[in-house]
Amino acid sequence: MLTRIDHIGIACHDLDATVEFYRTTYGFEVFHTEVNEEQGVREAMLKINDTSDGGSSYLQLLEPVREDSAVGKWLAKNGEGVHHIAFGTADVDADAEDIRGKGVRVLYDEPRRGSMGSRITFLHPKDCHGVLTELVTSAAVESPEH
C-alpha cells in the first residue's frame, strides 16, 4: 500500500546552484547527498517534512554525471524541471507486482538500490498519464528479508 509522497525528483544541470536556490528561496536544507553510479546521477535530498508513517518527504535534485544516463538524456530533451514523483511503500516488491497486475509496465524486473539505501522501481510514464512514477521502500522501513 502506498503511504506517502516520498519525493519529487527534479532534474538540473548544476546541482550546487539548484541546491542554493532551494536553500535561499525556501529555506530547505540538504539532508543527504550521494553519487549513484548505477543511475548516473549526483543527487541531493532536501527534507521537507516527516510523515505519520515514520518516513519523510523530500525534494530530490538530480544532476547527471554522464550524458548517457536516463536523467542526462531527459535533460537534453526536456531541460530542467520535474522529472518524476515517488510514492513511499513498506513493500516495493509487493506493490510493484500488484500494479503490474493492473496492466502498468514496471521498468525493473527486480527493485534496485536508490537513495539512502532504499529499494526502488519505476512505472512507465505512458501508463501513468505522462508521469514517470517511482515506488520507494526506505531503508529504515525495509523488511529484513530484502
Annotated catalytic residues are 7, 43, 60, 84, 134
Quickly list DSSP for the chain: -EEEEEEEEEE-S-HHHHHHHHHHHH---EEEEEEETTTTEEEEEEEEEE-TTS-EEEEEEEEESSTTSHHHHHHHHH-SEEEEEEEEES-HHHHHHHHHTTTPPBS-SS-EE-GGG-EEEEE-GGGTTT--EEEEE-GGG--TT-
Residue with cell 507486482: 97
* Closest alpha carbon to 60 in 13, 9, 18, 23: 9
